[in-house]
Amino acid sequence: MKQLLTCLLLLAFNSNPLADDSAGSQYEKSLLDTIKLIQSLDHDRALDNTRDLIRQYPHSRLGQMLYADLLLAKVGPLTQIGSGIEQPRAVQDFRYELKQRLQRDSSTGRQNLFPENIVALADDQPYVILIDQQSSRIYVYRNEQGIPVLVNDYFITIGIKGYGKQKRGDQKSPIGIYHVTRYIGGEVLPDLYGEGAFPINYPNVWDVRKKRTGDGIWIHGTPSYTYNRSPWASNGCLVVSNPDFLHIDDFIQPGLNTPVVLADQINWISHEQWLKNRREMLQLLSAWLNDWESMDHETYRQHYSSVGLDAFGRDFKSWDGYKRWVNREKTWVAVDYQNLNIFKYPAEENLVLMQFEQSYRSNNLDLDSAKELYWHKAGDRWKIVYEGTRQFPFPDTRIVEN
């Protein structure tokens, strides 16, 4: 038989092979095993594998297309993937899905690297969800004494217009740091949402600051007529196959206990660089707290940006005057924190988010609160551009973006 599906390799994929203990689903393993047989020109075994694939996963449109192409190859050579169907957009989507799956980042390929976005994890955060939208991949990380350890990763669908959501109805997925607000079972949802949904709290305070609009962004399953949707196919939600949704369900605790980092693209760094970043941020936080406790307001105020500051709804001038007024009768101040999260904010230049539980004590006030700080680096100095109370996200009952 002549060479089959030349374009299937998409300019000759030479991606790294998946590890034996691949974090991907059994579906993905079966699919990529078939692709490897096609690449090695073992077309008969590839056809047998594809038959098995669609018997096990009858709603796999990609599997059905490969099966049709392999049958047509027995009649004559095929020059490109999807020659057996007459839907150019569908063929394009299938090709892109194969590209994304074949180029996935395996757990072994990243075993000595860390995602730059996760800087520190709170003791009460057992897992964090990290999504690389450019690579169509969702990663689950476990918190092991503050160190992020990769548990699993899955194929994911994002907005049909890509990522970087700015306004309602733009069909893009957001970029930012969010939390799951609640779980909604599939039995009460339309078939579009598959096994269920996890709404996230888009827009967050940074989105509001940037005047981004829209709502109803969910992580959810896939409709019954297909195994998964193509890489860019939703109206803004993050969509996984139903089997993968059921796996991810084990790692998500609705509320503040499961951060969801929606990145445009993950920057992978060495362990040494990760430790350096972590030390720098911890030192920054400690310096802010020490200067606060010193009651030297002129030094303390240097931690805040004089341009664009939002500190509990006050700009810099208003905040500065208010702080001087409330501190006029203070004789001592003690501030401590626990359950600290630190994230490098995705797709933003030199922006870091810190979230923690703050304990404030003074001679005339005791206060415990959940705090959020956004730090921006201008020149060689980090400054606070947003300070506020970390709000528990209200449940999202709307179905807007999907």
Instruction: Give the model's pLDDT for residue 11.
Output: 26
Half-sphere exposure of 13 (CA within 13 A, CB side): 24
Q: pTM for the whole thing?
A: 0.84
Q: What is the DSSP string of 137-193?
A: EEEEEEEETTEEEEEEEEE-BEETT-B---STTS--B--EEEEB---EEGGGS-GGG
The topology under which CATH files domain 271-389 is: Nuclear Transport Factor 2; Chain: A, (3.10.450)
Instruction: Give the model's pLDDT for residue 250.
Output: 93
Instruction: Give the model's pLDDT for residue 69.
Output: 78
Tokens of 150: 């990769």
CATH 2.40.440.10 is right for the domain spanning 113-269: yes
- Residue ranges of alpha helices (H) inside 12-82 are 26-39, 43-56, 61-73
Facing residues of 173 across strands? 163
Residues ≥6 apart with Cβ < 8 Å to 358? 335, 336, 337, 367, 368, 369, 370, 371
Nearest to 27 by CA among 48, 4, 70, 58: 58
Query: From the first residue on, what is the mean pLDDT of each consecutive set of 10 residues in the chain (402 residues)?
Result: 33 35 65 80 83 87 82 60 58 82 64 92 94 96 93 95 97 97 95 96 96 96 92 96 94 86 96 96 98 96 97 97 94 96 96 97 96 95 96 50 52
Sketch the domain layout of the chain as residue ranges.
6-102, 113-269, 271-389
